[in-house]
Amino acid sequence: MLETAVALAQGEGLESLTMRRLADELGAGAMTLYHYVPNKEKLLDGMVDIVFGEIELPTTDVDWRTAMRRRAISSREALNRHRWAVGLMESRTTPGPASLRLHNAVLGCLREGGFSIELTIQAYSVQDAYIYGFALQEKSVPFETAEESAAVAEEQYREYAELADERQLGELAEEFPYLAEVVAGHVAKVGYNFASAFEYGLDLILDALERRRDTS
Amino acid sequence: MLETAVALAQGEGLESLTMRRLADELGAGAMTLYHYVPNKEKLLDGMVDIVFGEIELPTTDVDWRTAMRRRAISSREALNRHRWAVGLMESRTTPGPASLRLHNAVLGCLREGGFSIELTIQAYSVQDAYIYGFALQEKSVPFETAEESAAVAEEQYREYAELADERQLGELAEEFPYLAEVVAGHVAKVGYNFASAFEYGLDLILDALERRRDTS
DNA sequence: AGCTTACTCGTACGGTGTACGATCCGGGCA
DNA sequence: TGCCCGGATCGTACACCGTACGAGTAAGCT
């Protein structure tokens, strides 16, 4: 049932995940669901925990840095596979078992890697904020590959110019010159690759964390 | 009207911001709203742009680093004042004028600060991911001050132990030792201060960006 | 006076989550 | 065998949601 719900959210979007719709998918009446789940909130909780379960736990057979790197990349992939989950994490307050396991493993990886408790908390906070924040950005964008991104960037830019009644593209560029430079002048030409952008920022953060760890 | 909507979301939560409820608040019929806004989506768009408008633009009279630092802190404060907005940014796709102005100013600040276009994009992406990700974490937590956090951490931990049927607190600590160490052993004792945690991570990122800028 | 334009809103429709109570079914026990 | 009981199923109903439609009002212009 949770799997079916996930598949439905994946395939048709979270907004069309209805109790009735889900019940249909399962060949059951809507009210039947309430025998397995107290309400829709808990259903969503369960779905979120499935996503957590898909994230690679950091292993102990490599150094903390590569373990954290892998876990971060795995997190982005999971959140990208299930974009509906990103908007959901926010509201969920009670973590499921998979979430707890992951939390514990990440904290353990850092502690065993030689981080103090205080630094561990900070390192965890920075990494997670970055991961979820990046997923959030990525989610709200309607393209996947770098080539697509260029086309979309140009089109959106043009569309916005039309939308702004009186203005022409030129005037818009005049009001927001730096935006124009970056979006129309760069992204629209060479595109934007989310995966490599993510890893760039990730390595930047891991570098900084390593330095903090060594000088403490 | 947008202001009333913001106030309502602020005061009673986003989920109780209903077209009818908002209309009541304004002393009007529900359908009247639709003469000022095409649909609820656009209403939310407008509300989000109000939040963007409350974020301090980076100024040009200081170096890029302090300008970015201020803007980041201002962003966190705005998102914290309007927690409802965090979950909303995701779904909104067409940016409003305040959002555009902010985007443009941030990009401009970095460009004038000596970042190449590529680095500017990366720097922007890392910072924003961190800011929104942090706000996301912060939002889903029901306390504000460090002292509160300690109490809540302990209570939640205990509560979860009860929830996990057979288990006792001890067994839970056995299964998730690192989590126990950090949550029960540290946070519950000394508390957790979001504002300073945010600034720690922020400075960490700004450090790293500065280094990347100077060695490119 | 008549027309236009901007604004207000009552009613209604199709959707949502879910409370309640009726129904079915399979298995232990007298 | 007959009985009952607990879990699983679900039809119906309710309150609430966003909003389409069209009727009503009032002010300003020709």
From B93, B106, B115, B113, select the one nearest B44 (Cα to Cα): B93
Q: Touching check for A196 and chain B: CB below 8 Å?
A: no
Interface of B with A in 86-115 (CB under 8 A): 86-87, 89-94, 100-101, 103-105, 107-108, 111
In chain B, what residues touch A90 (CB-CB under 8 Å)?
86-87, 136, 139-140
Q: Which residue is nearest to nucleotide D10 (CA to C1')?
A: A29
Q: What is the pLDDT of residues B4-18, one digit of tens each?
A: 999 999 999 999 999
In chain A, what residues touch B209 (CB-CB under 8 Å)?
204
Report residue B165's pLDDT band, with 50, 70 and 90 as the boundaries.
Answer: very low
Report residue B166's pLDDT band, with 50, 70 and 90 as the boundaries.
Answer: very low
Protein footprint of strand D, defined by Cβ closer than 7 Å to any strand atom = A 23, 28-32, 34-36; B 16-21, 30-31, 34, 39-41
**Which pair of tokens denotes residue A153?**
């960037």
The nearest CA of chain A is from the CA of B91 a distance in Å of 6
CA/C1' separation B35–C6 (Å): 9
Predicted confidence (pLDDT) at residue B142 exceeds the cutoff of 80: no
The nearest CA of chain A is from the CA of B138 a distance in Å of 9
Residue of A124, A132, A165, A199 for testing the chain B interface, max B β-carbons within 10 Å: A132
Which carries the bigger pLDDT value, residue A207 or residue A192?
A207
From B99, B115, B16, B30, select the one nearest B64 (Cα to Cα): B115
- Mean pLDDT across A43-58: 96
- B179: nearest CB among A93, A100, A212: A100
- Mean pLDDT across A190-211: 93
pLDDT at A143: 66
Find, in chain B, the residue whose alpha carbon is nearest to that of A105.
B178
Report residue B82's pLDDT band, with 50, 70 and 90 as the boundaries.
Answer: very high
pLDDT at B146: 67
Q: Touching check for B129 and chain A: CB below 8 Å?
A: yes
Q: Touching check for A210 and chain B: CB below 8 Å?
A: no
pLDDT at B157: 64
- B104: nearest CB among A122, A178, A192: A178
Q: What is the model's pTM?
A: 0.90
pLDDT at A94: 82
For the ranges B21-35, B37-51, B154-168, the lowest mean pLDDT is seen at B154-168
CA distances from A122 to A116, B146, B148 (A): 10, 15, 19
Put simply, the answer to whether A122 touches B92 (Cβ < 8 Å) is no
Q: What is the pLDDT of residues A139-151, one digit of tens each?
A: 877 666 667 777 7
